[in-house]
Structure 1
Amino acid sequence: MAVDRLLWKITLDVVVLACVSFPLLALLLWAEPYRRGYFENDESLRLPYKKQQISEGLLAGLGFAFTIVTITITEFVRDKQGKGCGEKFLSGVLIPGWVWESYVAIGIYTFGAACQQLTVNSAKYIIGRLRPHFFDVCKPVADMSSPLNALGYIQVYNCTGTNEAQINDMRLSFPSAHSSYAMYTAVFFIMYIQVKGKWRGSKLLRHSAQFAALLGAWYVGLSRVTDHMHHWSDVAVGFLVGTSYAVVVFLFVLKPKKYGMPRSWETAQPEMLPQPVMAR
């Protein structure tokens, strides 16, 4: 029965991840963003197009590799220290405890990453905010005979730009998916090693690693502004979404209480003082 439950758990994990990932894939492949209009005098849309420093593939690869290496090393060390969950049997095969714990943590991290990406990308397609390089990429020609353009807000126009991929992407500014994923990974890492990456060495080493992860996510967000891919508000909301998902996933899905997280809010039991000997 224990083996059956373990296989059933893995099967359910795969199904759940597929259910979250498929809508995200469908959104990226087949959805059309909302066609938002523009004002001719909007200076925030007149920045030149620049090649982005950090592509989606590079960010995703680095983020997942960084998280997988961190979790695997941490769980291996914990297992050697006798803090692991013990060995597991899967179809008659002995699985080390640190392998199982790594699988659980990586799976939960992946689930949270898929959820936050689905959240931000669905918002992109629903809102359709124009990127700062809109004029440079689209080179719009307005239909001034349309009554929809009479008030100065141009809703009927044609793009004369030649790069179809950039034209399709120019309406996906809000919020920043790069910033959301980078901050999600950084906050998840910070909380993970804070709870499970304990050792007897310098505490500043652990906190320096946490600060470096946070600084890396901060840089990713700032690069999206300097690359003219996002407005600052897009990045700010992306940071907020990523942080929120990391906290919720870590606290309520990974559930760090079982790893011995100190509960400082609980009141300690008062020490019992010895009762005085009664004088006769």
Structure 2
Amino acid sequence: MKARMAVDRTIWKIILDIIVLACVAFPLLGLQLWAEPYHRGYFITDTSLRLPYKKQTISETCLAVAGFVFIIATVLIIEVVRDRQGKGIGEKFLFGSLVPGWVWESYNAIGVFTFGAASQQLTVNFAKFVIGRLRPHFFAVCQPTPITGDPLNALGYIQAYTCNEADPAMEKEMRLSFPSAHSSFAMYTAVFFIFYVQVKGRWRGSKLLRHGVQFAVLMAAWYVGLSRVQDHMHHWSDVAAGFLIGAGFAVITFIYVLKPKKYGPPASWEQPTQPEMLPRAVLVR
């Protein structure tokens, strides 16, 4: 009876997880399909909006696929190794059969990462549509013509205008500069990876290998943000805000949602000579 109740709770947990993810994903999809960004005006003398249009170096699809594949591969490798070393949670009974502990741990980690990624993207995109900041290539894409005699333009701040060249999709995109979703997701992925490897990824073969990989991933996220400025897709402040949002969501998601545990007795080479430089909420688990 107890085993049956445990199985039922596990199934309900999976179902509820899917429902929660859907509740975050649907508003994000709705923003992209039906929402209209705020129509912000411009000053004719604003040179920050007169950069030429360039094709972006890293597409949104490419970044999303690379980020998820990277995290999934990292989690699976670490959990399989930990399970073989006897540091996992042991097998779980689910759907009439035993499921290896590393599968359940991987499901938790990947599911939490996905939830955090969807949450930070919803936060970023909601801000984009509410603020409606114009991208640096606004003049090149829109080639705006102020509406003569409109009282909204009386003080020199042009709010009533028409775009001569932009198609509807590009006209919508040119209003979604702040904050940078690319930078937010890249930093979220990097910080989540750094924390995950710091807590669960141990190897006695090298003292600096783990930290070298962490630094390389951080630099990759940094490059994503720099490329958005270089490609004239964002102002530097858009990228800075995206970095802060992504890093903040990664820290909160890892510490307070994932709540990683260390199972099994640590090997002698895992005993730290001094406390790890991580938030206390992580270390006490």
Normalised by the shorter chain, which TM-score bucket? over 0.9
Q: Which runs of 4+ in 1 moved over 3 A?
A: 257-266
- Residue 26 of structure 1 aligns to a residue whose secondary structure is helix
Q: Does 1:227 align with 2:226?
A: no
Q: Deviations over 1:33-79 (max 9, x none)?
A: 00000000000000000000101100000000000000000000000
What letter corresponds to residue 243 of structure 2 in structure 1? F
Tell me whether 1:132 sits opposite 2:125 in the alignment: no
2:45 paired with 1:41: yes
| TM-score, with structure 2 as normaliser | 0.91
Percent identical pairs in the alignment equals 70
Q: Distance in 2 between matches of 1:69 and 1:258?
A: 20
Q: Please, which of 211, 214, 223 is the counterpart of residue 218 of structure 2?
A: 214
Provide the residue aligned with 2:61 in structure 1: 57
Given that 1:144 and 1:150 are in contact with CA atoms closer than 8 Å, whether structure 2 keeps it comes out as no
Query: 1:174 aligned to 2:158?
Result: no
RMSD of aligned Cα (Å): 1.6
Deviation at 1:258, TM superposition (A): 5.0
Give CA deviations for 1:16-41 in whole Å, capped at 9, x if unaligned. 00001010000111000000000000
- Preserved CA contact (<8 Å) 1:34 1:127: yes
Counterpart in the other structure of 2:75:
71
SS at match of 2:208: helix
Correspondence 1:149 to 2:153: yes
Q: Secondary structure at the match of 1:105?
A: helix
Q: Which residue of 2 aligns with 1:117?
A: 121
**Which sections of structure 2, spanning at least 5 residues, go unmatched?**
none
Tell me if structure 2 keeps the 8 A contact 1:190–1:210: yes
How many Å apart are 1:199 and its aligned residue? 1.8
Q: CA deviation at 1:164?
A: 2.4
User: 1:194 matched to which residue of 2?
Assistant: 198
TM-score by length of 1: 0.92
Cα distance in 1 between the residues matched to 2:238 and 2:251: 20
Give distance in 1, aligned partners of 2:15 and 2:168: 40
Are the counterparts in 1 of residues 92 and 101 from structure 2 also a CA contact under 8 Å? yes
Q: How many equivalent pairs are there?
A: 266
2:21 paired with 1:20? no
Corresponding residue of 2:12: 8
Rounded to whole Å, the distance in 2 between the matches of 1:258 and 1:84 is: 8
Matched, 1:96 2:119: no
Report the Cα distance in structure 2 between the residues aligned to 1:162 and 1:246, rounded to whole angstroms. Answer: 36
- Aligned equivalents of 1:88, 1:242: Cα separation in 2: 33
Aligned to 2:112: 108
- Cα offset, 1:162, TM superposition: 4.0
Aligned residue for 1:165? Answer: 169
Picking from 71, 83, 87, the partner of 2:87 is 83
Q: Mark the structure with the bigger radius of gyration.
A: 1
- How far 1:257 sits from its partner (Å)? 4.9
CA distance in 2, matches of 1:148, 1:12: 49
